[in-house]
A and B are shown apart, each in its own frame.
Chain A
C-alpha cells in the first residue's frame, strides 16, 4: 500500500468521511508490522479496535421455560385445590346421602317385613274359615 494513499485515508478517517471499506484498509495496514515511523502513533488505536472486537459475551442466559411456568404452576395448584375441595365435598355429600338412603331402605324393609308377617298371620287365621266351609259343604251333601 502506498504511503501517500494511507496518509490521505487517515486524513479522511479523522474527518469521519472515509467509507467502511477505506477504514478497513487502514485497519489492515496498521495490523501489519512495517508501519511508517511517523504513523506509528496510530498503530495502538487501530490495534485496539481490532482486539476490542474479539471480546465476547460468555454469560449463560437463564432462558429456561420455567420463567413462564412459575406463573402457571401456582394457577394449576389453585385449580387443583379448588377442584379437589369441590369434588371432595361432593363425594362426602354423596356418601352421606347414600348412607341415609341405606338407612331409609333398611327401615322401609323392616316395616314391610312386619307388614308381611302380619299378613301371613292373617292368612293362617283365614285358613280356619276354610275348615268351616268344608264342614258346611259336608252337611249340605248329606241332606
Chain B
C-alpha cells in the first residue's frame, strides 16, 4: 500500500483515535504521541491491511489497548500523567460561572469516571458509534455496555447538577 493510500484510509478516523486517547490519557501531548504510535504501528502492518475487514474498528481497539497499557505502566512506575490542559479553566471557573465553563466541567467530570465508562461514553455520545460497534471495539457484552453507559451518563448528570446547585466549590 502506498503512503497516500494509507493516509486516505486513515484520514476519516484518525481524529477519533486522537479523541479516544485524549479521553483516556487526558494530556494532549500524550494523546498525540499515542495516536502517532498507533498509526505508525498500523503503517508497519500495511501489507496485511487488506485482511482486516474493518480497519477503523481495528485501529480503535489498538488505541484503546495502547492507552490502557500506557496508563498501567504510568501507575506502576508511580508517575502521574502530566496534564496542563485544563489548569487554566479551573482558575477562570472560580472567577465566573458561565455556560461555557459548565461545558468544561463536563470534561472534568468525565475525567473522573472509571476507564471503561469513559470509553463507552466517548464512543457513544461523542463519536456516536452503535452498540454493535462498541461491542466489537471494546470486546464487551451488550448488557455490560448499556449498564456502563447508563451509569456514566447518570454520574455526569448528578455531578453537573451538584455543581449547579452549590455553585463552584
CB-CB < 8 A to B15: which residues of A? 55-57
Q: Are B19 and A63 in touch, CB under 8 angstroms?
A: no
Q: Is there an interface contact between A63 and B18, defined as CB atoms closer than 8 Å?
A: no
Q: Is A128 an interface residue (CB 8 A)?
A: no
Residue of A44, A57, A63 near B99 (CB, 8 A) is A44
A29 located at the interface, meaning its Cβ lies under 8 Å from any Cβ of chain B in the complex: no
Q: Is the beta-carbon distance between B43 and A63 smaller than 8 angstroms?
A: yes
How far does the Cβ of A62 sit from chain B's closest Cβ, in whole Å? 8
Q: Per DSSP, are chain A's interface residues mostly helix, strand or loop, or mixed?
A: helix
Known A44-B99, A44-B102; contact A59-B149, beta-carbon cutoff 8 A: no
A65 contacts B by Cβ under 8 Å: yes
Q: Which of B17, B19, B106, B149 lies in contact with A53, CB distance below 8 A?
A: B19
* Interface bits B117-155 vs A (CB < 8 Å: 1, else 0): 000000011111010000000000000011101100110
B160 interface residue per 8 A CB criterion: yes
Interface contact B14-A20, CB-CB below 8 Å: no
The smallest C-beta distance from A110 to any residue of chain B, in angstroms, reads 69
Q: Which of B48-103 contact A (CB under 8 A)?
A: 99, 102-103
The answer to whether B103 touches A57, judged by C-beta atoms less than 8 angstroms apart, is no
Q: Is the CB of A57 within 8 A of B17?
A: yes
Check: A139 CB closer than 8 A to any chain B CB. no
Q: Interface centre among A15, A16, A17, A65, by most B CB within 10 Å?
A: A16
A48 touches B106 (CB 8 A): yes
* Interchain nearest-CB distance for B143 vs A (Å): 10
Contact B157 A42 (CB under 8 A): yes
Would B99 and A61 count as touching, CB distance under 8 A? Answer: no
B102 and A52 form a contact (CB under 8 A): no
The residue of chain B having its C-beta at the shortest distance from the C-beta of A43 within the complex is B99
Q: Which 10 A-B pairs have the closest CB atoms?
A: A57-B18, A44-B102, A48-B106, A16-B150, A16-B149, A16-B146, A59-B32, A44-B103, A48-B103, A49-B125
Instruction: Using CB atoms and an 8 Å cutoff, list the residues of chain A in contact with chain B.
Output: 13-17, 20, 23-24, 41-45, 47-49, 51-53, 55-57, 59, 61-63, 65
Interface residues of B (CB under 8 A from A): 3, 6-7, 14-15, 17-19, 22, 32, 35-36, 39-40, 43, 99, 102-107, 124-128, 130, 145-147, 149-150, 153-154, 156-157, 160-161, 164
